[in-house]
């Protein structure tokens, strides 16, 4: 591979002709948005902005937002648009977002999508968003959600069924005991799916209608899905 055609990011070489710009990862709970966002961070060198992670950070720090969000998240419902938009607005002001970012879990309602579209349209320069929807069937999602565990230190995500750690219950990278998210139970999953169908599925249709949109099959090995996303984004950016 010639160095003129490629960018090297944290040990991985990838062909990259255009800056990725803002990327939206859409899809039901458990499709692997977080896992794919982490792969794409390595490939593109732009940050992952996960609204779920930002909200959990607020809950852990017991901020005013965290206190409001905690119960709502515990029920599997959506945190009010105004609070989430404000949190995203603050994050997008940080300088690491200049060449693009991967929004993971946002927008989740048409109101959030309208807010984001308006904000991006108001910027003097910058690429338009590319939206990627990851597809996985319901039974597979349930298995992924109830099997999901993550390392509270390095944030690596495992799955007891499809991507288990080498030693049960312990992170391969730093030996920390793995934890399960409070909302990754079957009952809360059902509520999260209801909220996805009612509020987030229309967001997928909104971005499909705008054109810069790709759908990828999320029921494949992690690296294969990431490669599919990179190919789709490069095609849509041409
Ligand atoms: P996630 O980690 O993306 O699965 O999000 C976990 C929970 O955080 C969701 O079930 C919601 O309660 C809340 N949440 C995350 N992102 C959003 C968003 N864009 N809008 C409203 N609530 C959100």
Among 16, 91, 144, 148, the one annotated catalytic = 148
Active site residue 148: yes
- Is 29 touching ligand 1 by the criterion CB < 6 Å? yes
DSSP 3-state assignment of 56? helix
More confident call, 16 vs 24: 24
- Is 157 touching ligand 1 by the criterion CB < 6 Å? no
Ligand 1 center–CA 172 separation, angstroms: 27
Q: How does DSSP classify residue 162?
A: T
pTM of the model: 0.85
What CA–CA distance (Å, rounded) separates 186 from 139? Answer: 11
Residue 143 half-sphere exposure toward CB, CA atoms < 13 A: 11
Query: How many residues in total does the chain contain?
Result: 238
Q: How confident is the model at residue 18 (pLDDT cuts 50, 70, 90)?
A: low
Nearest CA to ligand 1 atom 1: 52
pLDDT at 162: 83
Active site residue 91: no
Q: CA dihedral in degrees (77, 29, 99, 118; nearest 10)?
A: -40
**Average pLDDT across the chain, whole number:** 90
pLDDT tens figures, 77-108: 999 999 999 999 999 999 999 889 999 999 99
Active site residue 167: no
């Amino acid at each position: 591979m010639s160095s003129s055609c490629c960018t090297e990011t944290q040990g991985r070489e990838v062909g990259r002709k255009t800056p990725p710009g803002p990327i939206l990862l859409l899809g039901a709970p458990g499709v692997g948005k977080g896992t794919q966002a982490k792969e794409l961070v390595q490939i593109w060198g732009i940050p992952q902005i996960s609204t779920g992670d930002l909200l959990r950070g607020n809950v852990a720090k017991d901020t005013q937002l965290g206190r409001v969000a905690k119960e709502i998240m515990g029920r599997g419902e959506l945190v009010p648009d105004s609070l989430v938009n404000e949190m995203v607005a603050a994050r997008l002001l940080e300088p690491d977002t200049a060449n693009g970012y991967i929004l993971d879990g946002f927008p989740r309602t048409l109101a959030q999508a309208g807010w984001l579209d308006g904000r991006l349209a108001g910027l003097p320069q910058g690429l338009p968003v590319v939206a990627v929807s990851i597809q996985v069937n319901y039974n597979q999602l349930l298995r992924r959600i109830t099997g999901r565990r993550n390392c509270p230190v390095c944030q690596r995500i495992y799955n007891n069924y499809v991507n288990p750690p080498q030693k049960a219950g312990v992170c391969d990278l730093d030996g920390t005991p793995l934890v399960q998210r409070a909302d990754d139970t079957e009952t809360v999953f059902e509520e999260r799916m209801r909220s996805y169908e009612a509020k987030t599925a229309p967001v997928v249709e909104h971005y499909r209608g705008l054109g810069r949109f790709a759908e990828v099959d999320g029921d494949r090995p992690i690296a294969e899905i990431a490669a599919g996303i990179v190919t789709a984004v490069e095609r849509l950016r041409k």
